[in-house]
Amino acid sequence: MIRKKDGIHFNKGEVVADSRKASGDLNVVTHAHFDHMHQESSNEVICSEKTGKLFQARLEEKFKYSTEAEGLELIDSGHILGSSAVKFEMKGETVLYTGDASTRDRAYLEGFNPPEADVLVMETTYGIPNYRFPPQEKVEKNIRAWIEENRDSPLILFGYSLGKAQKIQYIVEKFSDRPLIAHGSVKEMNDVVEEVSNLEFSARPYGENKEVLEDNGILIAPSRSSQADWVEKVVDEYGALKAGFSGWAVSDSFKYRGGYDETFVLSDHCDFDELVEMVEKVDPEKVYTLHGFDEAFASYLKKEHGVDARALKRNQTSLSDF
């Protein structure tokens, strides 16, 4: 009934979610990250208005989408702007597929408030007890303290260019008037986000405004570039400090692997406790886990909560062979 192939296939393709090809009767895209993106979309997909607009702004070709389909309900999932979980009925049972989700309010986003369902298909990126995040206020307080402590150094703050980078800027701009500049891919996403929301970012393009680093400016850059040659040059030339932002920052290895001077636990996903809480709220009869610590979380649910749970692996069937 539920298969993981290219995306998640429900009931022989009646509903297909987050696939690269629109191969189902109904095709849902939960959010505008590239790993959930239709690469060759000729059919119409179902997504939220904001996700559709984000795709249109990111894609060269025309992106056709519809914001509703009979029997499907899109519910804000709190991961990035426009991200949605989807709820529908399958063989007399209600199914909730979370896509990527976060239940905590942070920056300009409200957390996911999951509805009840019989079957829950959920992301479990941080599905082990090691990944418990501090309260959001504490995270933001730590960010502020570090930035103010280092008022005499230029800073480079790294985050995923769509979603995380905008939240970092939003948080920093609340308390700091230091000049901000954004590296190409972040600036591009700032513009796209401004187009589809009422958010505004003050960051100027990095290329033409490098000199603000001499005035202890702050550069926002994509996380994948944290150890790029151009970054090392900026560090050498301006004495800049580097900070990384991610749920993985709970573990010290994130700091070493990224070559960061400081890291902050700012995540767009649920932590372990929030995942457990989500399951309690949905109160499902069956749970399928996806991504990250999928198997560990499923066996935790089974053992500690008596919930019928298992990891959804590529090409495995479910329900029937449970």
Residues that bind Zn ion (CB under 5 A): 33, 100
Q: CB nearer to Zn ion: give 82 or 154.
A: 82
* Nearer residue to Zn ion within complex by CB, 4 or 286: 4
Token pair belonging to 122: 């959920």
The separation between the first and the last C-alpha atoms of the chain, rounded to the nearest angstrom, is: 11
- Walk across the sheet containing 2-5 and list its strands: 2-5, 7-10, 15-17, 26-28, 45-46, 65-66
Contact call for residues 266 and 143 (beta carbons, < 8 A) = yes
Minimum distance, C-beta of residue 50 to Zn ion, in the bound complex (Å): 14
Taking the C-alpha atoms of residue 140 and residue 13, their distance in angstroms, rounded to an integer, is 42
Q: Which residues of 268-290 are buried (b: 16+ CB within 10 A; e: fewer)?
A: bbbbbebbbebbebbebebbbbb
- Of residues 81 and 155, the one with the C-beta less far from Zn ion: 81
- The residue among 100 and 274 lying less far from Zn ion, judged by its C-beta, is 100
Give the shortest CB-3-to-Zn ion separation in angstroms.
21
Residue 215 contacts by C-beta under 8 Å, 6 or more apart in sequence? 179
Contact between 177 and 154 under an 8 Å Cβ cutoff? The reply is no
C-beta of residue 196 within 8 angstroms of C-beta of residue 53: yes
Q: How far is the CB of 320 from Zn ion (least distance, A)?
A: 30
Helix axes 49-58, 184-196, angle to 10 degrees: 140
Sheet-wide strand order for 308-311: 73-76, 84-90, 93-97, 119-123, 286-290, 308-311
Residue 302: CB minimum distance to Zn ion, A:
27
In angstroms, what is the minimal distance from the CB of 29 to Zn ion?
11
* Closer residue to Zn ion in complex, CB, 24/292: 292
Which CB atom, from 81 or from 279, has the smaller least distance to Zn ion?
81
Nearer to Zn ion, 100 or 271 (CB): 100
Residue 100 or 294 having the CB closest to Zn ion: 100
CB contact set of 245 (below 8 Å; sequence gap of 6+): 157, 158, 159, 164, 168, 223, 263, 264, 266
Collapsing DSSP states into helix, strand and coil, what is residue 93? strand
CB 36 to Zn ion: min, Å: 6
CB nearer Zn ion, residue 47 or residue 307: 47
Give the whole-angstrom CA distance, residue 67 versus residue 47.
5
Supply 98's token pair: 């979370």
Closest approach, Cβ 58 to Zn ion, in A, equals 14
| Distance of alpha carbon 32 from alpha carbon 34, whole angstroms | 6
* Shortest separation between residue 161's beta carbon and Zn ion, angstroms: 12
Q: How far is the CB of 296 from Zn ion (least distance, A)?
A: 20
